[in-house]
């Protein structure tokens, strides 16, 4: 075929396919409910109204795909965080696994408390104690070794109440929301107080969020040549705490654009939602309110974990969406409908 | 239409389109030269051979698109870096612009040297002096203000030799390479010793690399509410130096996967290329060797800026590709062919 003719034919085929696929996609959107686990009501409607506002080119609220950045907290927003943050349970299990190599832990806090299952003594150890736990269990290995340890733990550990692997305790309605946003051209990020390297080994498979779209707390690493082979070694030194006022800082550091939608569940997410709300144009801020003792947990302003107090106040004045888990969600976990 | 029938019709249309578009894409690849500014030869062939090896599903070297991560140094790899790093010229211009507000600079180094155009005295100020320059010119404003300052500077400043805006002094063959990789499913990242916030305002337009795929050196920022409006304020404190052994650290921190291809031009890129080379499967490492005094600059092991010494040695033993700018590139800058 002559090159020019071939080029015209190619262009025509592209155009034809574009039109056909556009028609098909209209059908698909009209057919399928993108949020089947969300009950009808104001919460669900606010999500759909927002997505429609920023994706409809005929509206003044339209946002180009490159700027459709959505950030999600993890603990309590995408998966459960009770009885305590799952990463703390990981650290506790690691202490027990490593204890034979550390006889001194039998008489040293907070390790003694962990080994004796003394949760009161562990609570007494406070933030400093937790930091010691994290450093003893998260550092000292290479990035590749640590990823393997996390994967092994997830494969074997079970949640005390639900008796399931922790990464099955993710919220089905939020999985649908992630898919729905991505289907509408959004780039979805995790912005969590949890460890960045604790999340990366599993979130791609579970949430469809690739490692390069995960922001979290971190310890420092250093580049070394070990027998000529380069490795990154994890050091017992805090690099960044991605919580509260750290979340907008982490977002700026990793993404370099302001999100147009942000999703959280606690006062640790407040500044991320404020930062998101303060941008120009249409914005969407959502808080998951844990109101379902039966199917999950119920807690807010009096909770040590996932405390939600100021967030509820700002949500009311700032017109943020608040999910009432009990009322808004048909199901909580994916295994309920499998 | 009955839903089931419609679904079958839709599937058939998708399948048909898929087949047609596959056929078309084969044609397009065969027709167009993806690297028109690269001369025929071993360098160009090595690029095409690598891309073919990782994108051909029938080969054992195939890599799924999600893992096709390519990292590019910026200074000297994607744009020129002579007579000195362009960001230093930016800092010098900023000192001059801010001088009326800082009368003390007339008698304080390294500012005095800058104001008197005394490059020897500036060189004498060493790294500590440069750090002072950076802190005085890059901190103290909000992230949004700083982005505006960078954009204004790029719009007005001109390169001393080429008399053009600095962001026109990017390498046309590298722009083609970025496009070629992305057309083959790669995600392209910048991993530069330069300032992350100095690059983000312009690299998307020039390189097609979005802000969330830019990794660089940074100063700390802090979240503040100013009259109720959240801002991120840039602090005169180093956060991260993304150079040498810092590059694999930055890559791990931001991307969380190891690149399969890495592109640099100096010993500051050595560890990034080593880290890339040490992964499993097919790998591609490339160094741009500045050999063209006539059209750009010629320098390597004896240069203070963009020193390339160990890199050339490792390239020879590790089978890395070395671009001989003079021999391999038909054109250097985009304006030569516009």
Rounded to a whole number of angstroms, the distance from the CA of B43 to the nearest CA of chain A is 26
Contact criterion met (CB < 8 Å) for B17 and A14 = no
Looking at chain A, the whole-number percentage of residues with pLDDT higher than 70 is 91
Contact criterion met (CB < 8 Å) for B17 and A20 = yes
What chain A residue is nearest to B23 in terms of C-alpha separation? A10
CA angle A288, A202, A205 (to 5 degrees): 85
pLDDT band, very low/low/confident/very high, at A212 (cuts 50, 70, 90): very high
Rounded to a whole number of angstroms, the distance from the CA of B54 to the nearest CA of chain A is 20
Q: What is the CA radius of gyration of chain A?
A: 23
pTM: 0.91
Nearest CB neighbour to A257, from listed B211, B246, B275: B211
Contact criterion met (CB < 8 Å) for B212 and A255 = yes
Please state the rounded mean pLDDT for residues A202-221. 98
- Give the Cα separation of A94 and A88 in Å (integer): 10
Is A324:A332 a contact under the CB 8 Å cutoff? no
pLDDT of residue B91: 96
pLDDT digits (tens, 9 = 90+) for A145-190: 999 999 999 999 999 999 999 999 999 999 999 999 999 999 999 9
Contact criterion met (CB < 8 Å) for A223 and B271 = yes
A5 pLDDT exceeds 50? Answer: no
Q: Which residues of A touch B252 (CB under 8 A)?
A: 143, 221, 232
CA angle B139, B145, B151 (to 5 degrees): 105
pLDDT digits (tens, 9 = 90+) for A301-312: 999 899 999 999
Contact criterion met (CB < 8 Å) for A17 and B21 = yes
Contact criterion met (CB < 8 Å) for A249 and B255 = no
What chain A residue is nearest to B234 in terms of C-alpha separation? A249
pLDDT of residue B22: 52
A12 pLDDT exceeds 70? Answer: no
Rounded to a whole number of angstroms, the distance from the CA of A131 to the nearest CA of chain B is 20
pLDDT band, very low/low/confident/very high, at A14 (cuts 50, 70, 90): low
pLDDT of residue B126: 86
Phi first, then psi, for residue B280 (nearest 5°) are: -80, 155
Rounded to a whole number of angstroms, the distance from the CA of A172 to the nearest CA of chain B is 24
Contact criterion met (CB < 8 Å) for A275 and B223 = yes
Please state the rounded mean pLDDT for residues A19-46. 75
- Give the Cα separation of B322 and B302 in Å (integer): 18
Local structure of residue B237 (DSSP, 8 states)? E
What chain B residue is nearest to A200 in terms of C-alpha separation? B256
Q: Which residues of B touch A210 (CB under 8 A)?
A: 66, 257
Give the torsion sign (CA, B91, B97, B102, B103). Answer: positive
A18 pLDDT exceeds 90? Answer: no
Q: Which residues of A touch B275 (CB under 8 A)?
A: 223, 230, 232
Contact criterion met (CB < 8 Å) for B249 and A222 = yes
pLDDT of residue B68: 98
pLDDT band, very low/low/confident/very high, at A21 (cuts 50, 70, 90): low
- What ipTM, to 2 d.p.? 0.90
Nearest CB neighbour to B13, from listed A20, A239, A255: A20
Q: Which of A2, A68, A252 to mutate to test the interface with B (most CBs of B within 10 A)?
A: A252
Contact criterion met (CB < 8 Å) for A232 and B222 = no
Query: What SS3 class is residue B92?
Result: helix
Q: Which of A16-25, A82-91, A280-289, B140-149 has the lowest mean pLDDT?
A: A16-25
Count of CB pairs separated by less than 8 Å, A with B? 117
Q: Which of B215, B279, B69 is nearest to A230 (CA)?
A: B279
Separation of CA A56 from chain center: 27
Is A295:A328 a contact under the CB 8 Å cutoff? no
Contact criterion met (CB < 8 Å) for A211 and B274 = no
CB atoms within 10 A of CB B129: 18
Residues of chain B with pLDDT under 70: 1-31
Contact criterion met (CB < 8 Å) for A248 and B223 = yes
Summary mean pLDDT of chain A: 92
């Amino acid at each position: 075929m002559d090159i020019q003719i071939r080029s015209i034919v190619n262009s025509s085929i592209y155009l034809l396919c574009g039109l056909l696929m556009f028609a098909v996609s209209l059908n698909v959107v009209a057919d399928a409910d993108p949020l089947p686990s969300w009950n009808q009501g104001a919460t669900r409607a606010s999500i759909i109204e927002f997505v429609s506002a920023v994706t409809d080119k005929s509206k003044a609220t339209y946002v180009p795909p490159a700027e459709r950045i959505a950030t999600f907290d993890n603990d309590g927003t995408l998966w459960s965080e009770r009885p305590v943050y799952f990463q703390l349970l990981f650290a506790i299990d690691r202490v027990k696994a490593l204890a034979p190599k550390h006889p001194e832990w039998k008489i040293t806090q907070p390790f003694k408390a962990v080994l004796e299952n003394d949760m009161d003594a562990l609570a007494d150890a406070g933030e400093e104690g937790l930091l010691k736990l994290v450093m003893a269990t998260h550092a000292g290995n290479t990035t590749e070794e640590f990823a393997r340890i996390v994967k092994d733990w997830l494969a074997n550990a079970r949640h005390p109440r639900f008796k399931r692997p922790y990464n099955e305790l993710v919220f089905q309605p939020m999985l649908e929301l992630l898919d729905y946003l991505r289907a509408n051209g959004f780039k979805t990020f995790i912005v969590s107080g949890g460890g960045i390297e604790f999340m990366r080994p599993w979130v791609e498979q579970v949430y469809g969020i690739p490692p390069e779209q995960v922001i979290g707390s971190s310890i420092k690493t250093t580049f070394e040549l070990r027998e000529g082979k380069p490795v990154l070694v994890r050091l017992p030194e805090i690099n960044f705490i991605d919580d509260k006022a750290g979340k907008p800082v982490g977002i700026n550091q990793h993404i370099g654009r302001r999100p147009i939608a942000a999703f959280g569940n606690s006062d640790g997410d407040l500044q991320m939602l404020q930062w998101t709300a303060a941008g120009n144009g249409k914005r969407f801020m959502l808080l998951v309110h844990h109101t379902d003792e039966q199917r999950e947990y119920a807690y807010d302003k009096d909770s040590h974990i996932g405390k939600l107090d100021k967030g509820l106040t700002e949500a009311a004045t700032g017109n943020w969406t608040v999910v009432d888990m009990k009322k808004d969600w048909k199901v909580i976990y994916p295994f309920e409908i499998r």
